[in-house]
Amino acid sequence: MTVLTIHSAGPGLTVQDLGRDGWRAKGLARGGAADRLALLEAAALLGQTTPLSALEMAGMGGRFSVDAPTRFVLTGARMNASVEGRVVASNTSAVLAPGEVLDVRGAQAGSYGYLAFAGGVIGPEWLGSRSAHLLGGIGNFLNAGTIALGADPDVSAGLKRLAVADRLSGGVLRVMPGPQTELFDAAVRERFFATVFKRAAQANRQGLRLEFEGEAFTNETRDLASDFLTPGDVQMTGDGRPYVLLSECQTVGGYPRIGTVIAADLPKAAQAGAGAALRFRAISLVEADALWESEAMILARLEKAVEPLIRSPHDIANLHEYQLVDGATTGDELETE
C-alpha cells in the first residue's frame, strides 16, 4: 500500500471509477466518472487491464504527495501541473517520488480532470465500486488528508504518452432517438437540431444546462408518467430548456427527452466548459447501434495508440550517469540460424 497525502483539494474532488451497473431497478444510477474515456486513457497509459479508481477533479486541482514512488497520469480536462518545478503534461505518465509535491492547478480547458495512479485508489468498495455517488449519499468530497493507493506494480515501466483528440471545447454531439422523441413536433425537433447552444455555468455530475437564443422547445406531454432516464438523455425541463444528463442522473424522471447523446460523444458533453458551443446532430437508431463500442474495445484501441515517451537529452540533468552505449554487437544476434 502507498499513502497518498492530499495537502489541499479544490471543491469537487471525488474518487471515481466506472461505477455500479445493474441497480437501476433499485433507483441507483450507474454513476462513475463523468468522462469515462479519461479513465480508459489513464488505464492505457498506466498499463491497467481495467481502469482502477482515480481522483476526479471538477475544475480545480490540488496538491498531492506519496510515501513510495508511483507512476501517475493526468487525463481529461487540461490542467497545468508540476512536480517540484518540472512541468507535467496531460496524457503523459510520470513518476512521483516521496518528498515531491505534485501541484495540479485549475482547468485551462474542460470540466473534469482525472489524477490516476498506477496502483489505483484502494479502500472500501460498495456494490463493487469505489465511486462517490453524492446523490445517493455514497462517499464524500475529499478534503486535505490521506487515502490509500495500491503500490505501483512496476514503477520502472517506461513512461508513455497518448495523443488525444480534443473533446474539451464543445462541438457536435450525435443524438439518437429516445422513448419520447416523437412527442416533440417535427418542427420543434428541426429547430433543436439547428440551434447552437452554449453550456450554462450551472452543471454538476447529474447534468449540464444549455443556454440558447430563441423560443423554448415545447412539447405535448401533459400527465406523462415518470420513466427511466439514461446518461446522455437531453431532457426538456418545464420551461422548455435542454439539460444533458450525465453519469449521476436520477434513474427516473417526468420531463420529456428529445433524444439521447450516444456514449461516444458523452465525454465531449461532460467536458464542455462554461460558455462552450454545443450542437446536436440527429442520427438514426441503426446508426447509433452500429457506433456502439464496448469499453474493453476502446481500451484495446487506446493501448495500441500509446507511445513510449522519449525525453529530450536536454531535459535530463544527470545525462552523464546514463549508460548511453552498451553491448557493441556484431549486428546479427537477432537473426535466426
CB of 50 to other proteins, least distance (A): 15
Taking the C-alpha atoms of residue 286 and residue 31, their distance in angstroms, rounded to an integer, is 26
Among 89, 134, 291, 309, binds other proteins (CB under 8 A): 291
Give the three-class secondary structure for 189: helix
Among 82, 108, 218, 226, binds other proteins (CB under 8 A): 226
Q: Kindly indicate which of the ranges 37-45, 87-95, 289-297, 309-317 contains the residues binding other proteins, using the contact rule CB under 8 A.
A: 289-297
Taking the C-alpha atoms of residue 55 and residue 12, their distance in angstroms, rounded to an integer, is 10
- Written as one letter, the residue type at 337 is E
Taking the C-alpha atoms of residue 316 and residue 159, their distance in angstroms, rounded to an integer, is 14
Q: Is 50 in the site for other proteins (CB under 8 A)?
A: no
CB of 9 to other proteins, least distance (A): 23
Task: Report the residue number, 87 or 285, with the smaller CB distance to other proteins.
Answer: 285
Question: For 92, what's the count of Cα atoms within 13 Å in the CB-facing half-sphere?
Answer: 13
Q: Is 25 in the site for other proteins (CB under 8 A)?
A: yes
CB of 96 to other proteins, least distance (A): 33
Number of other residues whose CB lies within 10 A of the CB of residue 293: 12
Task: Report the residue number, 61 or 256, with the smaller CB distance to other proteins.
Answer: 256
Q: What is the DSSP letter of 299?
A: H
Site string for other proteins, 235-274 (x = CB under 8 A): ---------------xxxx------x-xx-----------
Closest Cα to residue 258, out of 239, 237, 273? Answer: 237
Q: Is 32 in the site for other proteins (CB under 8 A)?
A: no
Q: Is 292 in the site for other proteins (CB under 8 A)?
A: yes
Q: Is 136 in the site for other proteins (CB under 8 A)?
A: yes
Among 106, 289, 307, 316, binds other proteins (CB under 8 A): 289
Among 19, 232, 267, 273, binds other proteins (CB under 8 A): 232
What b/e sequence results for 28-39 when a residue is b if at least 16 CB atoms lie within 10 Å of its CB, and e otherwise? bbbbbbbbbbbb
CB of 179 to other proteins, least distance (A): 4
DSSP of 38-50, one letter per residue?
HHHHHHHHHT-SS
**By CB neighbour count within 10 A (0-12 exposed, 13-18 middle, 19+ buried), where does 80 fall?**
middle
End-to-end CA distance of the chain: 47
CB of 283 to other proteins, least distance (A): 11
Taking the C-alpha atoms of residue 262 and residue 273, their distance in angstroms, rounded to an integer, is 19
Site string for other proteins, 68-97 (x = CB under 8 A): ------------------------------
Q: Is 164 in the site for other proteins (CB under 8 A)?
A: no
Q: Which three cell numbers stand for residue 100?
A: 515531491
Q: Are 72 and 52 in contact (CB under 8 A)?
A: no
Which residues make up the interface to other proteins (CB under 8 A)?
Answer: 22-28, 126-127, 135-138, 176-179, 221, 223-228, 230-233, 250-253, 260, 262-263, 285, 288-289, 291-292, 294
